[in-house]
Structure 1
Amino acid sequence: MKKIVLTGAGGRLGSYLREPLTRLAGTLVSSDIAEDIGMLYPGESYIRADIADYDAVHTLLDGADMVVHFGAIVDEVPFEEMLGPNFLGAYNVWEAAFRQGLKRVVYASSIHAVGMYPRNEFIGIDVPHRPDTFYGLAKCFAEDLGRMYWEKRQLESVCLRILSCAQVTSPRALGTWLSYDDLIQLVTRAIDTPTTGFSIVYGVSDNDRSPVDNSAASYLGYRPRDNAERFAERILAEAPPADTDDLAQMRHGGPFASTPLGQSGLAGMNIVDDRKKT
């Protein structure tokens, strides 16, 4: 490919995707709302852009083959704050991708689109939406948007329902962990699979305790290699007793399932900011 665009390049997950994406196209255009994202890799350029601004997104995607859309507010906030970057931003990316003739949108969706399912239900990629927050609702909106743009306009989409792409710090993460190496493989398969139509795939490593079923997305060729079980002895020894009345422990969405609408879900999680430094 000639050009890939990465939104959300200044975020933690974006920091791990930038260098691998430079190997998949002649040019990688990284974008975020930050002033800069540090030293650029060979073949990478940076354009500051607000995804809530359609004109900025349209210009950003000029000449691109695909867009890897990771730009968003990545926590639960009041709906009015979520509306611009997460709802309108998703529309702007798909609409600009269609008008600019891109082949595919690769989208960072989330388990929070189906976060209110009970943890003891082993869910596949085809379960109906069941969001746990406004954040999860935005993921539902974008997934439906992607399906519609494929069925009405033949613009392909791969929606990556990421579970927990962060260091393993809780019993829940023993099932939901997505390692950075597996994240890179997942995004690479979403890009280099010749045809995808509209696809959903869970972003999770090969964990013994994984609560989701990716078998119906096997055509994408995603074969995770890492397993969170190696952390189990330490994590379970340090964990408090299980509480079956706690929605954070009993729903797929974890703390997002128990947090009041509009209030931070990340506040109940011990997320380590270990973004890759250039």
Structure 2
Amino acid sequence: MKKLVLTGAAGNLGSHLRAPLAAMCDELLSTDIAESVGDLAANETYVQADVADMAAVKPLLEGADMVVHFGAIVDEKPFEELLGPNFVGAYNIWEAAHQHGVRRVVYASSIHAVGMYPKNEAIGIDVPHRPDTFYGLAKCFAEDLGRMYWEKRGLEAVCLRILSCAPVTNPRAVGSWLSYDDMIQLVEKSITTPITGFSVVYGVSDNDRAPVDNTAARHLGYRPKDNAEQFAEEIYAKFDPLDPQNPSDFRHGGPFAGIPLGASAMGLFHFDEKDD
């Protein structure tokens, strides 16, 4: 791989991806809205840029083979605050990728695109969108954008519906956990799989209680190795029984399913998790 571009390089997940991606290519261009990301790999460059600004984004993708798009606001906000980075930013990435002949976009989607499904439905990758927030709606938009650019312009895309990628600290994460190692494997497989077309895959580890069905995404070769069941007994002992009438407990979106539209989900609940 000659050149990879990583957006959201300063974020929780992007920071874990930089070194593995640098090892996969001659040149890694990392970008984020932050001023810096600290020390760089020998073949890595960093450019501060706002994904909502096409003039800033377009030059970054010149000569790239693929772009790993993880840059966005990672929380529920009023629609107006998400419009630039999460909606327009996705369009800018796909359109710039098309204009530069980039082969594939690997996109950090989220379970929140389908977050209002109840937990007792083991949903597959082909269920209709059912977003739980404006944040989830942005993920639906980007997934549909990716499908359209594949079908109309031949630009491949792999949309990773990440459930929760952080240490297991709550009952939901016993099913939804995506370990950092499995997250890295998932992104690597999304890059190295010879043909993907438009693909959706759930970003989740091999948890005994995983609430989603990834069977239809096996063509990517993603085989998660970690399992949150090792934390189950300790975690469940720390928490009160879950309430099936509470959307935060019973819906796939967790706390995002239980908050008012536009209200932040981070910090309001005892859920310590990052969804992309």
- Return the TM-score normalized by structure 1: 0.97
What does 1:87-236 correspond to in 2, within 5 Å? 87-236=87-236
Measured in 2, the distance between the counterparts of 1:41 and 1:188 equals: 18
2:33 maps to what in 1?
33
Q: Secondary structure at the match of 2:102?
A: coil
Deviation at 1:118, TM superposition (A): 0.3
Equivalent residue for 2:82? 82
> Number of matched residues?
273
Pairwise CA distance, 1:78: 0.3
Mark the runs of 5 or more structure 2 residues left unpaired by the alignment. none
CA shift, 1:221, in A, is 0.1
Structure 1 stretches of at least 4 aligned residues deviating more than 6 Å after TM superposition: none
Distance 1:70 1:269 in 2: 25
- Residue in structure 1 matched with residue 271 of structure 2 by the alignment: 270
Q: Separation in 1 of the partners of 2:119 and 2:142?
A: 24
TM-align CA RMSD: 0.9
Specify the SS of the correspondent of 1:266. coil
What amino acid is aligned across from residue 205 of structure 1 in structure 2? S
**Aligned equivalents of 2:263, 2:103: Cα separation in 1:** 36
Give 1:270 shift: 3.4
Identity among equivalent positions (%) equals: 70
Secondary structure at the residue paired with 1:101? Answer: coil
What residue ranges of structure 1 are gaps of 5+ in the alignment?
Answer: 274-278
Whole-angstrom distance in 1 between the partners of 2:28 and 2:271: 32
Partners of 1:198 and 1:130 in 2: CA distance: 19
Write the distance in 2 (CA, Å) between the matches of 1:55 and 1:117: 38
Give the superposition deviation at 1:271: 2.2
| Contact kept in structure 2, 1:157 and 1:199, CA below 8 Å | yes
**By how many angstroms is 1:86 displaced?**
0.2
What is the CA distance between 1:245 and its match in structure 2? 1.6
Deviation by residue 1:141-193 (Cα, 9 ceiling, x = unmatched):
00000000000000000000000001111111000000000000000000000
**SS state of the match for residue 50, structure 1?**
coil
Is this contact kept in 1: 2:61–2:96, CA < 8 A?
yes
Question: d(CA) in 1 for partners of 2:271 and 2:10?
Answer: 20
TM-score calculated relative to the size of structure 2: 0.98
